[in-house]
Chains A and B, each alone.
Chain A
Amino acid sequence: MNPRPDPNHLRVSDDGIAKGGVLLDVRNVSLAFGGVKAITDISLNVMKGEIRAIIGPNGAGKTSMLNVINGFYTPQLGTIVFRGKERRSMKPHQAVGQGIARTFQNVALFKGMSTLDNIMAGRSVMMKRHIGWQMLWHGPALREEIEHREKVEEIIDFLEIQHIRRTPVGKLPYGLQKRVELGRALAMEPTLLLLDEPMAGMNLEEKEDMSRFIIDVNQQRGTTIALIEHDMGVVMDLSDRVVVLDYGKKIADGPPDEVKNNQDVIDAYLGVPH
């Protein structure tokens, strides 16, 4: 018999927050680099189970916001509450421990390593065996590796990248590299997945594929997603709620339809005559 995994088993462990409860709450955060204010007094929240988009013109502070959320930057003012725990400063690896994973605007993979190894790398934070065991690669360490490999194969199957399992990532077209990067983030089994421009530089077909994967990640795996994206069509179709930043300030926040018709947003994107 060849049991297939029940999709419900793919779900991320329950953390006590009901679907629709606040998973991440960013309160009055400000971030400046010297005199440059990247983020000014922004509050936003992400509900569990939703797809949340952060949009805005270039230099609006979107990526900075993501960096604040996953602990890469420490804001000068304000607090961040994730899964009910408040914190101001945190190291990125602690963010991973808490269940935040991300992908980058420019693909950040190990180019010389295969797809499989890249995604396995995403599991490394969960490998519990002592380094000595790992080096022996025998007994418990081997068993552990096999368990992780199973998880990785599930992800490979999920993202339909079986055909590039053994291909060095550097040889892959950009659209597939992006998918591998998503795979590595998923390997961390995050509660909150941050996607920085997941569709930048993709053609229409690749965008459609990626959109479908994002929706599937959200629905099948129950992962909450916060994403930055420039393609308005994609953002409006995918997300449950959209927050719009401009010059480091929040100018709109709400469901896509509402944001689309907001005069400030239209002005920020199209410019206003002075």
Chain B
Amino acid sequence: MAHNTASTDTFAKYLLLNAERFRGRPAMRFKDYGIWQSWTWEEQLNEVRALALGLQTIGVKRGDKIAVIGANRPRLYWSFAAAQSLGAVPVPVYADSVADEMAYVLDHAEAKFAVVEDQEQVDKVLSVADRVPALTDLIYDEPRGLKDYDHTHLHDYGTLRETGLNRFAEEPGATEGWLDEVAQGKGSDLSVILYTSGTTGRPKGVMLSNDNFVRSALNGNGFDNLGENETTIAYLPLAWVGDHLFSYAQSYTAGYCVACPESPETINEDRREIAPTYFFAPPRVFETLLTSIMVRMEDAGRVKKAMFDYFLAHAGKVGERILNGETVSFWDRLKYQLGDFLVYGPLKNRIGLSRMRVGYTAGEAIGPELFSFYRSLGLNLKQLYGQTEATVYITAQADGKIRPDTVGLPSPEVEIKIADNGEVMYRSPGVFVGYYKNEEATRETKTADGWVHTGDAGFFDADGQLKIIDRAKDVGKLASGALFAPKYIENTLKFFPDIKEVVAFGHGRDFCAAFINIDLTAVGNWAERNNIAYASYQELAGHSQVYETIAAHVDEANRRLAREPLMAASQIKRFLVLHKELDADDGELTRTQKVRRSFIAERYGPLIEALYDGSTEKFVETEVTYEDGRKGIIRATVKVVDAKVHDAPKEMIREAAE
């Protein structure tokens, strides 16, 4: 390459570089009015510069914090780059936060400006404006419904952009001034503050520098050989570190194109049209995809269904081995080819992954069966273990060295050690600067010599691959002293398409018990086919036939647990199907959809007691919060059911005896 990229240490500098080296290549796509619109790197530079010059006119200066709230739209990504080019710090905020959470983050970050998507977000921010004293101006992308608002401190993105374009064309010195600001940016400058949703307590603002992001992105690009030819689709929350890396930092450093979906509801269609080559999804998305495939196949004709089942079984047998480059008989390969033509190919096309070269899943442990299912189709899906504090990468699986039950080898430039209590610790160039305005938490998490506590318990296996068991503080012991790793049990159950969420209990108890959330798509479809009428989630969840189905799944899960010596003791003895879906709005899940265990234990105390006191049903009242902050009450009588516990299979006992 003719350019020297070593001195390129900020994203604004990368933007200038890309506008030269990848001038005519696409940088961004966005489906609008039903058509994919695209911007080349040169056009992206124009957009970012125009916004930056516009932002200057409303007083954005070096060091200012700019909140960014909304869905994955090009203009919001441009506002990251525009803010950074001026030395301001973008603070992406989860768009679906309720007003109260948003107020906390905006105030804690001392956001002076906010770039938001539409009227909904404008209203939300305005409703808490009195609690965010630093906030002066709001900028919105979508003007609809905002015409009659007071525009003294409210700006249309389009108008600011126009102002910026005019300054670029006419104002002497404006562009030079901007380039000067860009040149002033340093690698050690703060790049972005990302608020972690946190499974406990208030969110913390993780400060990440340009160096953190540039180094991590370059390492990631090198590891997976990502170049300017990749395409990815941006659909995960802007405030999540993964999206900031995959849809922003890596795109700027590698020069690849990011596609923004038309709306959050059209993501499946849009992914099909774009067919990303580099794709990331948390296990939940893969689960939902699998569920929707299975549900559709239930409705398929007999011949189709038989073909589907036959070839999927074949893929399950040899697919992963072919992908890993192991030896497979010629006949099996031939059959796999035929299956690819008849089933796997169309299936991959259907879920928009037919061009996928590198796929990652992370955020939570993925069910081994779920993981193997996708890999058996020939998809290079890998696991990654990361954290906001590490600028994502801690470990990642290298091509060809994939095992479903580990998270891979340490990523480039990452050192890992296991603390005495089993906690995983790491040190890398991606390690965060600190928590914003929270010295104490920074000291608790990051040691003086740069090691970071992950909070996860894990160990290295014989191959040197890292295995994560659970959150360090969640791993407990049953009253008998046997290990109790709730997430492991939950993941075993969550593989069943009918089950969406599980919360397992057992620490300090005599046995393991669980709350179960049914998956409304899967179970609703089953109910429809079986002529079972239901009016609400609650009614379906309490249906006796649903209970029977779930009991069968629990039984199967117990069989699987029985096969694992460490886990056999934590088979589920009693369970109940919750009367409401666990919801982030009620604080039961984090914004990244992780279960908040202690909160749930507190909120559903009576139900947990019912699991352990032998009662067969329990009446509960639960308060729910709607997205606009209003509250309501759900009342229900929840049934509690016993499940059978299995012995370890005979051959294993023999093995153990030998």
Q: Hey, which bits of chain A sit against chain B, CB under 8 A?
A: 1-2, 4, 7, 150, 153-154, 156-158, 160, 162-163, 165-166, 212, 215-216, 219-220
Residues A162 and B144 in contact in the complex (CB < 8 Å), given A2-B37, A157-B32 = no
- Find chain B residues with CB under 8 A from A216 CB: 144-145
Counting CB contacts under 8 A, is B158 at the interface?
A: yes
In contact, B147 and A163 (Cβ under 8 angstroms)? no
- List 8 tightest A-B contacts by C-beta distance, closest first: A163-B265, A153-B33, A2-B37, A163-B266, A153-B34, A162-B262, A162-B263, A162-B266
Counting CB contacts under 8 A, is B143 at the interface?
A: yes
A216 to B144 CA separation, bound complex (whole angstroms): 7
Additional A-B contacts beyond A4-B32, A163-B262, A215-B145 (5; CB < 8 A): A156-B34, A157-B32, A216-B145, A219-B148, A220-B147
Residues A150 and B145 in contact in the complex (CB < 8 Å), given A2-B39, A163-B269 = no
In contact, A160 and B263 (Cβ under 8 angstroms)? yes
Residues A220 and B266 in contact in the complex (CB < 8 Å), given A1-B43, A2-B32, A157-B33 = no
In contact, B147 and A219 (Cβ under 8 angstroms)? yes
| Contact partner, B34, options A4, A162, A220, Cβ 8 Å | A162
- Find chain B residues with CB under 8 A from A162 CB: 31, 34, 262-263, 265-266
- Cβ-closest chain A residue relative to B262: A162
| Contact partner, B144, options A156, A163, A166, A220, Cβ 8 Å | A220
- Find chain B residues with CB under 8 A from A215 CB: 145
A2 to B40 CA separation, bound complex (whole angstroms): 12
Q: Quote the shortest CB–CB distance from A129 to chain B (angstroms).
A: 22
In contact, A7 and B43 (Cβ under 8 angstroms)? no
- Find chain A residues with CB under 8 A from B269 CB: 163, 166
- Cβ-closest chain B residue relative to A219: B147
Q: Quote the shortest CB–CB distance from B263 to chain A (angstroms).
A: 5
Q: Hey, which bits of chain B sit against chain A, CB under 8 A?
A: 30-35, 37, 39, 43, 143-145, 147-148, 158, 262-263, 265-266, 269
| Interface of A: prevailing SS | helix
A17 to B46 CA separation, bound complex (whole angstroms): 43
In contact, B145 and A154 (Cβ under 8 angstroms)? no
| Contact partner, B33, options A150, A163, A166, Cβ 8 Å | A150
In contact, A7 and B144 (Cβ under 8 angstroms)? yes
A60 to B35 CA separation, bound complex (whole angstroms): 47
A-B pair count, CB < 8 Å, reads 44
- Cβ-closest chain A residue relative to B43: A1
- Find chain B residues with CB under 8 A from A166 CB: 269
Can you give 14 contacting A-B residue pairs, CB < 8 Å?
A: A2-B39, A4-B32, A154-B33, A156-B34, A162-B31, A162-B265, A163-B266, A166-B269, A215-B145, A216-B144, A219-B147, A219-B148, A220-B144, A220-B147
Q: Quote the shortest CB–CB distance from A199 to chain B (angstroms).
A: 18
- Find chain A residues with CB under 8 A from B39 CB: 2
A55 to B147 CA separation, bound complex (whole angstroms): 29
A238 to B32 CA separation, bound complex (whole angstroms): 30
| Contact partner, B147, options A2, A7, A153, A156, Cβ 8 Å | A7
- Cβ-closest chain A residue relative to B269: A163
In contact, B266 and A212 (Cβ under 8 angstroms)? no
Q: Quote the shortest CB–CB distance from A194 to chain B (angstroms).
A: 23
- Cβ-closest chain A residue relative to B266: A163
- Cβ-closest chain B residue relative to A149: B34
In contact, A4 and B263 (Cβ under 8 angstroms)? no
Q: Quote the shortest CB–CB distance from A3 to chain B (angstroms).
A: 10
A107 to B224 CA separation, bound complex (whole angstroms): 52
- Find chain B residues with CB under 8 A from A7 CB: 143-144, 147
A7 to B148 CA separation, bound complex (whole angstroms): 13
- Find chain A residues with CB under 8 A from B32 CB: 2, 4, 157
A160 to B119 CA separation, bound complex (whole angstroms): 14
In contact, B37 and A165 (Cβ under 8 angstroms)? no
- Cβ-closest chain A residue relative to B33: A153
A24 to B144 CA separation, bound complex (whole angstroms): 27
- Find chain B residues with CB under 8 A from A163 CB: 262-263, 265-266, 269
- Cβ-closest chain B residue relative to A7: B143
Q: Quote the shortest CB–CB distance from A243 to chain B (angstroms).
A: 25
A153 to B145 CA separation, bound complex (whole angstroms): 19
- Find chain A residues with CB under 8 A from B145 CB: 212, 215-216, 219-220
- Find chain B residues with CB under 8 A from A156 CB: 33-34
In contact, A158 and B144 (Cβ under 8 angstroms)? yes
A212 to B147 CA separation, bound complex (whole angstroms): 14
- Find chain B residues with CB under 8 A from A220 CB: 144-145, 147
A7 to B33 CA separation, bound complex (whole angstroms): 14
- Find chain B residues with CB under 8 A from A4 CB: 32, 158
- Cβ-closest chain B residue relative to A165: B34
- Cβ-closest chain B residue relative to A2: B37
A217 to B638 CA separation, bound complex (whole angstroms): 45
A219 to B145 CA separation, bound complex (whole angstroms): 7
